[in-house]
């Protein structure tokens, strides 16, 4: 019995990355909840990381994975600061939108 084995190619990974980035972009543009927007930005960062790893593997170069390491470090710092601010604001006011956050500018 011969089984059909499908091996993902570089194109599949790049297509998946484009779909994930598009979902994240639509989420940022459509949603008004700051927590959901924050998660969509993280989805976009992960899509870019997938692209870097895919192209690094395709070119037989470690630079793509090194860039992903730095992007993950920056994303972790962003999560710590950004999520802390968002949760602190959402504790004080329930049902807050991004438009309400614009009032904090002063």
**Whole-number average pLDDT of the chain:** 89
For residues 30 and 76, what is the distance between their CA atoms, to the nearest angstrom?
25
pLDDT in tens, 62-84: 999 999 999 999 999 988 998 88
Specify the pTM: 0.83
Q: What is the pLDDT of residue 23?
A: 97
Q: What is the pLDDT of residue 4?
A: 83
Q: If you average pLDDT over residues 17-30, what whole number do you get?
A: 97
Q: Within 10 A of 54 (CB to CB), how many other CB atoms are there?
A: 20
Is the pLDDT at 41 greater than 70? The verdict is: yes
CATH for 10-99 (1.10.8.60, 1.20.1260.10, 1.10.287.3510, 2.30.40.10): 1.10.287.3510
């Amino acid at each position: 019995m011969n089984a059909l084995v499908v091996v993902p190619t570089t194109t599949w990974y790049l297509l998946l990355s484009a779909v994930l980035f598009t979902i994240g972009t639509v989420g940022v543009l459509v949603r008004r909840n700051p927590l959901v927007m924050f998660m969509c930005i993280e989805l976009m960062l992960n899509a870019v990381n997938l692209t870097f790893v895919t192209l690094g593997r395709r070119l037989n170069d470690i630079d793509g994975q090194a860039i992903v390491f730095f992007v993950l470090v920056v994303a972790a710092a962003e999560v710590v600061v950004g999520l802390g601010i968002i949760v602190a604001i959402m504790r004080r006011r329930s049902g807050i939108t991004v438009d309400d956050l614009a009032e904090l500018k002063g």
